[in-house]
A and B are shown apart, each in its own frame.
Chain A
Amino acid sequence: MDLYHLGPVDWVESQSIYHALALLNREGLIICYPTTPYVCLGLHDDLEYEIDQFYCRNVRIPLLRRETGGGVVYLDSRQIFFQLVIRQNNPLLPLRRQNFYEKFLEPAISLYRKLGLAAELKFPADIVGGGKKYSGNGSGDIGRCTAYVGNILLDFDFVTMSRVLKVPDEDYRRNLYRAMRANILTLADCLPCPVEYSLLAEGLLAGFTKQLGNLFPRSVDDELRATAKQVGRRLTSREWLEMPGRKSALRKVKITEGLYLQAQERAVQNCPAVLVREGVAEAMTADL
């Protein structure tokens, strides 16, 4: 398997290179992180419904829509991305695409464990520990390949994440912030001191070598760079961003697998939103 250990990359390239590999029908594993922040929509997210575009424009956070699943994410240099592109005819890829997460996320799960943290897969694609989420991940068929994308949160800007999403009112936003803070864990939350990028990348590479066999380091060649540039323009174009997507009648934000913050038609006990865990509504409390 080809390895593109890219380290810091431009924000568009942090998405466009794996799309380009897939469109070129080339397999590869990419490890990288974006040098500047951006907001990334899932293929079927609705821009108008999901994003506070006024805020994003004001604070100059650019937008991109990827061709993989999952919801809106705020991404920045404090997250390490691991992205695997495999051909659809590769026998490693199960017919039921979701089943591959177990293999794809094993290197990250092992890495968390090596750092002394309890971590396990929550089907289909979350890594969790102690009932909280370490990371959410996504995949999608792109051309004749399938791309799996995941990340490790060294730290996370919960405030900005809660600001970039369009929400009914500030009460909802406050609850959103609290729900994320209470249910998502970063390495900074769990470890006494920061972990170097290189150590995390090495840990991931060791895990992926076990899964995929030898990894052959490659640099981004002209063909890949040119295709990535073209794809990057498309993924950030106004027309592509404004493609209509899923909406629900009442604002609903996914916090973790099976956990949603759902706006209520009429505020109950002065609370405009309710947390729905595995289909069951929970009371919102200040300490969440």
Chain B
Amino acid sequence: MQGEKNKEWNIPRGLLFDSSDCWLKITEETVVGLTDYGQSNIGDIIYLDFVPAGTVVRRGDRCGSIESGKWVGSLLAPISGIIVETNSEAKADPHKVNTDPFGDGWLYRMEPADRKEITHLMNLDAYKAWIQERISGKAKDAEIL
């Protein structure tokens, strides 16, 4: 983890972020993906699954799952709304999330239920600070081990 301290993560402007390392591009609909930092922590992604399009989710609900090597975890909805489309190409080739997390590796599109929830999300500077906080915290703890 020490090597991560000075690593520059690709974090494009114009997006919002949540603490589960999701990025959101908010227009009339919202596109959701996993950040470069998020995919890097997960490692080589070998399986991706989503709830069906049309599913109504609350912020924090499980809306998919992801597997890398010998670990599985959930994709949690960063905001409430309806999942309108999932990325079938990323599902067929999950490695796209590793290689192009802000492009072809997007995860799903959703129709937000409550625009006020956007205030819970982080802008670029806040997300950068969040990453640094986690890296420095974990790096310190890694030394204890």
Q: Which residues of A contact B (CB under 8 A)?
A: 42-44, 67-70, 91-92, 94-99, 101, 103, 124-125, 136-141, 245-246
Q: Is the CB of A125 within 8 A of B43?
A: no
Which chain B residue lies CB-closest to A123? B69
Q: Is the CB of B70 within 8 A of A101?
A: yes
Docked Cα-Cα span, A97 to B73, in Å, equals 10
Which chain A residue lies CB-closest to B69? A124
Can you list, as one digit per residue, whether each of B125-145 has a CB less than 8 Å from chain A (1) or not (0)?
000000000110110111011
Docked Cα-Cα span, A3 to B138, in Å, equals 25
Q: Is the CB of A140 within 8 A of B71?
A: yes
B53 within 8 A of A: no
Q: Chain B residues with Cβ under 8 A from A125's Cβ? A: 69-70
Q: Chain B residues with Cβ under 8 A from A101's Cβ? A: 70
Among B40, B70, B73, B142, chain A packs the most CB atoms within 10 A around the CB of: B70
CB-CB under 8 A for A138 and B70, given A96-B41, A98-B43: yes
Q: Chain A residues with Cβ under 8 A from B71's Cβ? A: 69, 97-98, 124, 138-141
Q: Is the CB of A103 within 8 A of B72?
A: no
Least CB distance from B67 to A in Å reads 5
Q: Is the CB of A98 within 8 A of B69?
A: yes
Q: Is the CB of B67 within 8 A of A44?
A: yes
CB-CB under 8 A for A95 and B41, given A43-B65, A44-B49, A103-B145: yes
Q: Chain B residues with Cβ under 8 A from A96's Cβ? A: 1, 40-43
Docked Cα-Cα span, A170 to B56, in Å, equals 46
Least CB distance from A214 to B in Å reads 16
Q: A96-B43, A98-B68 are in contact. List 7 more A-B contacts (CB 8 A).
A: A68-B72, A69-B69, A95-B138, A96-B41, A101-B70, A125-B69, A136-B70
Q: Chain B residues with Cβ under 8 A from A44's Cβ? A: 47, 49, 65, 67, 72
Which chain B residue lies CB-closest to A68? B72
Q: Chain A residues with Cβ under 8 A from B1's Cβ? A: 94-96, 99
B74 within 8 A of A: yes
Docked Cα-Cα span, A172 to B144, in Å, equals 48
Q: Is the CB of A91 within 8 A of B141?
A: yes
Q: Chain B residues with Cβ under 8 A from A138's Cβ? A: 70-72
Find A70's partner among B70, B74, B141 (CB 8 Å cutoff): B70
Q: Is the CB of B73 within 8 A of A141?
A: yes
14 contacts between A and B (CB under 8 A): A44-B72, A69-B68, A69-B69, A69-B70, A69-B71, A92-B141, A94-B1, A96-B42, A97-B42, A98-B70, A101-B70, A139-B70, A139-B71, A140-B72
Q: Is the CB of A91 within 8 A of B144?
A: yes
Q: Is the CB of B141 within 8 A of A140?
A: no
Q: Chain B residues with Cβ under 8 A from A43's Cβ? A: 65, 67, 72
Docked Cα-Cα span, A12 to B44, in Å, equals 31
- List of 10 A-B pairs having minimum Cβ-Cβ separation, nearest first: A91-B141, A125-B70, A141-B73, A140-B72, A69-B72, A97-B71, A124-B69, A95-B41, A43-B72, A96-B41
Docked Cα-Cα span, A70 to B70, in Å, equals 5
Q: Chain B residues with Cβ under 8 A from A246's Cβ? A: 46-47
Docked Cα-Cα span, A139 to B42, in Å, equals 12
CB-CB under 8 A for A95 and B70, given A43-B65, A44-B49, A103-B145: no
Least CB distance from A256 to B in Å reads 12
Q: Is the CB of A141 within 8 A of B72?
A: yes
Contact residues, B92-145 vs A (CB, 8 A)? 134-135, 137-138, 140-142, 144-145
Q: Is the CB of B43 within 8 A of A69?
A: no
Find A91's partner among B40, B65, B74, B138 (CB 8 Å cutoff): B138
